[in-house]
Amino acid sequence: MKSSTLRIGTRGSALALWQAHWVEAEIRKRFPRCDVTIDVIRTTGDRVLDSPLSSIGDRGLFTREIERALLEGRIDCAVHSLKDLPTALPEGLVLGAACRREDVRDAFIPHPANPVRTLLDQPAGTVIATGSLRRKSQILARRPDLRTVDIRGNLNTRMEKLRASDWGGMVLAFAGIRRLGWEESVGEIIPTDVVLPAVGQGAIGVEVRAGDKATLALVRVLDHAPTATAVTAERALLALLEEGCQIPIGAYARIEGDAAAVLAIDAMVASLDGSTVIRGKNRGRQSDAAACGEDLGRTLIAGGAGRILDDIRRAGERS
């Protein structure tokens, strides 16, 4: 192809930069004459670090400023952790690629002085740090005798906070830990039947302007069809249920089988304290990924998730 340019927008954390440089390397590998640059953009989620994500109550905390730069033409594409990308994109923007997914599971990182390496085997009263209501509710559903504390910041900051604390450990997405080469800190990779991941967890999303055919042609080579199918189902479910950090929602879709492979999706909605967890599963054709996710969302609502969502919504309006 003719020589071209690609300006990538990203957050400035170590993990975000790893993802942006991965996209850069993949583009350079496929299009050697493409001039790729990376622009670091600070987001609201990066600036507001003294409040839990659930209390900020805003969508697009880690994406809005980057999307503005994309719409204004200051960058050509935005690289995100797909779990941070709201399901409703700003008008004029599209998801150009869902890159091949890393391990979707969460991981338990024990304190260096804690000999108990697994989450559910911690002694009663152990403090577990997490910045996610989804994780907190599922942990408390299994072990209501544990305590949770909120933690914010990038992975480096969280590791430092853990070492300086008296916590038993913390729960993070394993994908980020693996990408940064910190697997030795992991005590346990948590099974999805214990803690379901966030929608889109482990996948990198590349966002572009809808009419920018040149950039779409560059980034679409990074799109991984099984990942795209899975996250389409998960994001459709999330859109039907409720967007935002205030609702404990987990989902995991994947392709199962070989020649007659089908799409399977597990999902859950939980009360904030974990006392009620509504969980379900659906299977469908890969071509019907969005419908498969939406159908499961309706099943969860009919099974009691609707009451949980209404209760959390009303509590948020009162606060």
DSSP calls for 213-231: HHHHHHHGGG--HHHHHHH
- At 318, the pLDDT band (50, 70, 90 cuts) reads low
Overall average pLDDT of the 223-251 stretch: 91
pLDDT band at 319 (very low <50, low <70, confident <90, very high): low
CA dist 88 and 291 (Å) reads 16
Token couple for 75: 């960058």
- Give the distance, in angstroms, between the CA of residue 40 and the centroid of all CA atoms in the same chain: 20
Regarding predicted confidence, which is higher, 139 or 245?
A: 139
Report if residue 197 sits inside a domain.
no
Domain assignment of residue 263, yes or no: yes
User: Do 91 and 212 fall within a single domain?
Assistant: yes
Whether residue 96 sits in one domain with residue 21: yes
The confidence band for 62, taking pLDDT boundaries of 50, 70 and 90, is confident
Instruction: Work out the mean pLDDT of the chain and round it to a whole number.
Output: 92
Are 8 and 96 members of one domain? yes
Q: What are the tens digits of pLDDT across the range 73-101?
A: 999 999 999 999 999 999 999 999 999 99
How far apart, in whole angstroms, are the C-alpha atoms of residue 33 and residue 28? Answer: 7
Mean pLDDT to the nearest integer, 309-317 = 80
The residues annotated as belonging to the active site are 84
Structure confidence at residue 177 (pLDDT):
96
CB neighbour burial string for 63-73, b if at least 16 within 10 angstroms, e if fewer: bbbbbbbbeee
In CATH, what number is assigned to the domain containing residue 131? 3.40.190.10
Is residue 65 a part of any domain in this protein?
yes
pLDDT at 317 over 70: no
97 and 110 assigned to the same domain: no
Does residue 56 have a pLDDT over 50?
Answer: no
The per-residue pLDDT for 172 is 96
The answer on 207 and 94 residing in a single domain is yes
Cα distance between residue 102 and residue 2, in whole Å: 32
239 falls within a domain: yes
Cα distance between residue 186 and residue 160, in whole Å: 15
pLDDT reading at 141 higher than 70: yes
Looking up residue 302, the CATH number of its domain turns out to be 3.30.160.40
Evaluate whether residue 230 is within a structural domain.
no
Give the mean model confidence (pLDDT) for residues 134-149. Answer: 97
Question: 14-30 and 155-163 are packed helices; what angle lies between their axes, rounded to 10 degrees?
Answer: 150
Any idea which of 12-16, 118-122, 311-315 has the lowest mean pLDDT? Answer: 311-315
Structural domain of residue 249, as residue ranges? 235-318
Compute the average pLDDT of residues 216-220. Answer: 96
Question: Is 229 within a domain?
Answer: no
- Does 212 share its domain with 239? no
Residue 2 has pLDDT above 80, yes or no: no
The CA distance from 318 to 177, in Å, is 37
pLDDT at 45 over 90: no
Residues of the chain above pLDDT 70, percent: 91
In this prediction the pTM is: 0.92
The pLDDT assigned to 245 comes to 55
Q: How confident is the model at residue 154 (pLDDT cuts 50, 70, 90)?
A: confident
Residue 21, token pair as written in the block = 């440089």
Mean pLDDT in residue range 162-172: 97
Residue 43: per-residue pLDDT: 78
281 and 296, same structural domain? yes
What are φ and ψ of residue 152, in 5° steps? -125, 170
232, 252 Cβ separation under 8 angstroms: no
Decide if 146 contacts 139 (C-beta within 8 A): yes
User: What is the widest separation between alpha-carbon atoms in the chain?
Assistant: 63
Name the nearest CA neighbour of 263 among 236, 229, 239.
Answer: 229
In a domain, 306, yes or no: yes
Does residue 9 sit in the same domain as residue 92? yes
Neighbour tally for 191: CB within 10 Å: 12
Q: Are residues 130 and 212 in the same domain?
A: no
Residue type, 3: S
Taking CA atoms, 144 is separated from 84, 127, 272, in Å, by 28, 11, 12
What is the dihedral angle through the alpha carbons of 85, 91, 94, 95, rounded to the nearest 10 degrees? 10
Residue 33: its H or E element: none
On whether both 96 and 212 belong to a single domain, the answer is yes
- Residue 279 half-sphere exposure toward CB, CA atoms < 13 A: 18
CA distance 62 to 42: 8
Same structural domain for residues 206 and 97? yes
Residue 261's pLDDT band (boundaries 50, 70, 90)?
confident
How far from 184 is each of 52, 104, 171, CA to CA, in Å? 27, 18, 14
Tell me the two tokens of residue 123.
Answer: 């002694």
CA dist 254 and 209 (Å) reads 28
Higher pLDDT, 63 or 260: 63
> Does the pLDDT at position 190 exceed 80?
yes
Region 143-171: mean pLDDT is: 94
Q: What's the total number of domains in the chain? A: 3
**Could you tell me if residue 228 is inside a domain?**
no
214 has a pLDDT exceeding 60 = yes
Tell me: do 38 and 21 sit in the same domain: yes
